[in-house]
Structure 1
Amino acid sequence: MKLTRRSFLTATALAGGVALAGPFAWRLANAAEPRELKIPELIDARHHGQSVSLRVQPGKTSFFPGRESETLGYNGSYLGPTLRVHRGDDVEVAVTNALSEDTTVHWHGLLIPGELDGGPHQTIPTGATWQPVLPIRQPAATLWYHSHAHGRTAEQVYAGLAGLMIVTDDEEKALELPSEYGVDDIPLIMQDRQFENGSLVLPQGMRTRMHGRRGDTLMVNGTINPFARVPARLVRLRLVNGANARFFDLAFTDGRPFHWMASEGGLLERPVELRSLRLAPGERAEILVDFSDGRPVTLATGPDSNVPRMRMMERTADLTGGERDAVVRFEPQGAETSVVKVPEQLLTHERLDPSTAIRRRRFEMTMGMGMGSMMGSGSGGFGINGRSFDIGRVDERVGLGDTEIWEVSGAMMAHPFHIHGVHFTVLSRNGSPPDIRDQGLRDTIVVQEPVELLVQFLQPAENAPFMYHCHILEHEDNGMMGQFSVS
């Protein structure tokens, strides 16, 4: 599943009789055969009377042939179905917890009141069912859902508690974009996981707490070394970084361009032609790729750009090197077709005026090397504005309908910053105009240098607060999170 240098080193070592020790050698010997990309089941709420059921359950998953792993999933052993909802509808989701521990389901990117959000305040005890009715009142977009259990988010998501949610509306349909689910409209939930002799393991230790869990094996929709058959025409890819901590730096191996058409909040005003795309944990993007030339090509990622130097040295020693890793290989099918033109215009967004902001708030995500951080106690420097998360404390109080400027920065490394219950736009990055990738409506953004966000608060959160936090999940669990009310 590796490209270039690693494949060469592996073949050379095996041919020359060089011993490759332990789990790494097992992985190399068993990961060569490509597997067809799994496409999660699609559940369209309108086809089910606006009532959807999710069962949060343990299971066993064979990521490698003949090797089972203990996993978690929604309606299955790993990950969950894709839920499709329609703007203007009210959708009931009955979530039953069949685990031996508490959980939650957070609707990441859905603009709904705080008591429906699925954060740590909406705990679902073992054996209980939570039945929120979700009002869908936002433009078409790619969202996702995942566990947000207090102090257990990282481990539960790592074990498999995540899935895709698609919002659709009439404006998007009128554009006649690729929309045949699993054919020319393909979900790609990208993750990295650690394996030993073919079984999933949970990395532990101080470095994991400091920098987040990273694995030695890439997966898409729970498939290792996947390939996907696609029609020889324009195809839409819904990219979700579902990793706990890894950043993906995506590009096609033949250097072909593609068009970025949607951010977390939905369609951009105009498609943007790119040749590479960086996604941090929690970020999503929709791209259009032209496969009409019929040539197979691989979507690959470079080394994690947010890995501390020491971990990069460890990767090199483990024969992973600095080459690009395969994410998924695409194999166009059928006769070549004429190139479908990418729309020049997508949507026109109403732009907020920064002068309407009534308040400026500053947030710094901090992490420390203290004993509390090493022991995972949520202290020792993990926090926001010097305070570690306390579920009994509301950190900020916001007025319903208010517009504010939030200035966010991060210490020691880049952090993906996520705000529940809102979409925001980026005003500036490090005092300069936003980067090209900062455009669109966002709910998750990468920060290290100070970034100014223009936020309007239109969802109430009086009975239960919203969260803001780093979306490196181990940082979140260890205290890099705050909460705010809206009333």
Structure 2
Amino acid sequence: MSSNINPRPQSSNTGPQLPHISRRTLLIGLGALGAVGGISFWATSGKHEDAGTAFATPLAIPPLLEPEMLDGERVFRLSAQAGETELVPGVSFATMGFNGTHLGPTLRATRGDKVRVHVSNELPVATTAHWHGMRLPASQDGTAHQAIAKGTTWSPSWTVEQDAATLWYHPHPHGQTELQVGSGMAGMFLIDDKEPTGLPSEYGVDDIPLIIQDVAVQSGGQRSGTPTTTPIGRIGNTVIVNGTYQPHFVATTRQIRLRVLNASAARCYNLELSTGEDFHLVGTDGGLLAAPAAMNKLLLSPAERAEIVVTVPQDADLVLRSVPHDLGMSKGDNMTSGAEDTFGILRITGAKAGTETPLPTALPSAKHPEGVSGVERHFMLGDTTINGKSMDMSRIDTVVKASSTELSDRGKYVQAGP
């Protein structure tokens, strides 16, 4: 899904905003609660809480995983684990993660690096480790074909052959992906350029990962609940970032680079700053753009990533939030799918001193491949089918020659990986 640019809103309220839900959807949720005991539902008031009391928890920053250097390879070690994590104050959730019970550390490499990852499975069920967005041999990609049985270790290896980009890793077991990712099995995998880009780059200081997920909390906020099943998938009623509820980041620089990952199962996020000011998009799923692009809204669907640079005003107190957007469905389906919600993502304060550094006018983006294949392919997506066929790991429907180039129906070049 491409970025969505909309006119700047008239309001400039800078206070954090909690989830808002329409009266109709609230009534639907109340009815469901009465019919099925224990199910979660939308029960947020939509009020603006004071910045001094809301969004006061320091944003957790996933640690960088330091690799070993063995025989010319950067060797990382991940362990899939399960446990309980308090994601909302006073509310514990059954969770899964890598090297812990929720989320995973950030992996980082540079183009040309030889990488190996030892992935051990300590879960009671099989899992996989998929490197989402990485160009690498299919045999190393960690799809549903490459299950890691409990108690075993899988050790894929490859050479990084792509430009700077924000990627992520997560499990991809057939029929269990939503459950495992939604339980917290997600982490960032950052690819760097060999040469400086001129963008903020100090991890955890001015280069900040934001892993956004939604979870379900029962009415009253005392216990975890079950996500609501909607036309687009399972939607939670509470948003967390890096496993932090109502997170707060204190900026120490005038500009911060936010690497945003939508790791939710179905919810889309239409991001804006509460001040209504522009931010600059510098990267998407495919890597860095050719040049920074100013905008004031950015729509991200599940699994999408975006890199944005926010200029933090002197003595700032602002909120990165999600606002209503159009999913192209009926009004009722839009509401039940969360497309009319408004809620805060991250409160940002600080930057009392310092000068603003101009953004680079050009970035080292990947070049579009030249030449277009005459092959024409059609894919019709059903509820659980593609071209009328259900998933079957033993069947191959389409074969694309490695390094060939085709033109998608949206007018964008698509190049096959190695």
Q: Which runs of 5+ in 1 are unaligned?
A: 10-19, 368-381, 408-450, 460-487
Alignment deviations for residues 56-110 of structure 1 (CA, whole Å, 9 cap, x no partner):
0101101123332111010111110011112111111110111111110110011
- Following TM superposition, by how much is the alpha carbon of 1:25 offset from its aligned partner in structure 2, in angstroms? 9.9
Q: Tell me the amino acid that sits aligned with residue 329 of structure 1.
A: R
Task: Pick one of 143, 157, 180 that aligns with 1:119.
Answer: 143
Cα offsets for 1:407-442 (capped at 9, x unmatched):
3xxxxxxxxxxxxxxxxxxxxxxxxxxxxxxxxxxx
Residue 366 of structure 1 aligns to a residue whose secondary structure is coil
Q: Is the 8 A contact 1:232 1:294 kept in 2?
A: no
After TM superposition, the score normalised by the length of structure 1 is 0.72
How many Å separate the matches in 2 of 1:104 and 1:91?
17
* Amino acid paired to 2:247: P
1:2 to partner: Cα distance: 6.5
Matching residue within 44, 52, 55 for 2:76: 52
* Greater fraction of residues in helix: 1
The offset of 1:331, in angstroms, is: 1.0
Is 1:362 equivalent to 2:381 in the alignment? no
Instruction: Give the drift of 1:342.
Output: 0.8
1:454 counterpart residue number? 413
CA distance in 2, matches of 1:77, 1:298: 28
Give the alignment partner of residue 367 of structure 2, picking from 332, 336, 350: 350
Identify which of structures 1 and 2 has the higher relative contact order when contacts are C-alpha pairs closer than 8 Å and 6+ apart.
2
Residue number in structure 2 paired with 1:182? 204
**Correspondence for 1:254 among 275, 279, 282:** 275
- Normalised to the residue count of structure 2, the TM-score between the two structures is 0.83
Distance 1:293 1:102, change over 3 A: same
Cα deviation for residue 124 of structure 1 reads 0.3
Whole-Å separation in 2 of the counterparts to 1:314 and 1:34: 29
> Residues 190 and 221 of structure 1 are in contact (CA less than 8 Å); yes or no, is this contact kept in structure 2?
yes
- SS of match in other structure, 1:38: coil
- Pair 1:336 & 2:389 matched: no
Provide Cα deviations, 1:324-364, integer angstroms capped at 9, x if missing partner: 2100000124x3222110111112543323x5314121112
Alignment of 1:72-471 (within 5 A): 72-171=96-195, 173=196, 175-196=197-218, 197-203=221-227, 207-208=229-230, 210-303=231-324, 305-306=326-327, 309-313=331-335, 322=340, 324-333=342-351, 335-347=352-364, 349-353=366-370, 355-367=371-383, 382-407=384-409, 451-459=410-418
**Percent of residue pairs bearing the same amino acid type:** 36
What residue ranges of structure 2 are gaps of 5+ in the alignment?
1-14, 24-32
Q: Given the superposition, is the C-alpha separation of residues 277 and 313 from structure 1 closer, same or farther in structure 2, using an over 3 Å criterion?
A: closer
In the aligned structure 2, how far is the partner of 1:314 from the partner of 1:350?
Answer: 40
Q: Deviations over 1:211-236 (max 9, x none)?
A: 21111111111111111111241111
Determine helix, strand or coil for the equivalent of 2:376: strand
Task: Indicate the RMSD between aligned Cα atoms, in angstroms.
Answer: 2.9
Contact 1:45/1:91 (<8 A) preserved: no
1:223-275 per-residue CA deviation (whole Å, 9 max, x = no partner) reads 11111111241111101111111111000000111110111121111110111
For 2:379, give the aligned amino acid: F
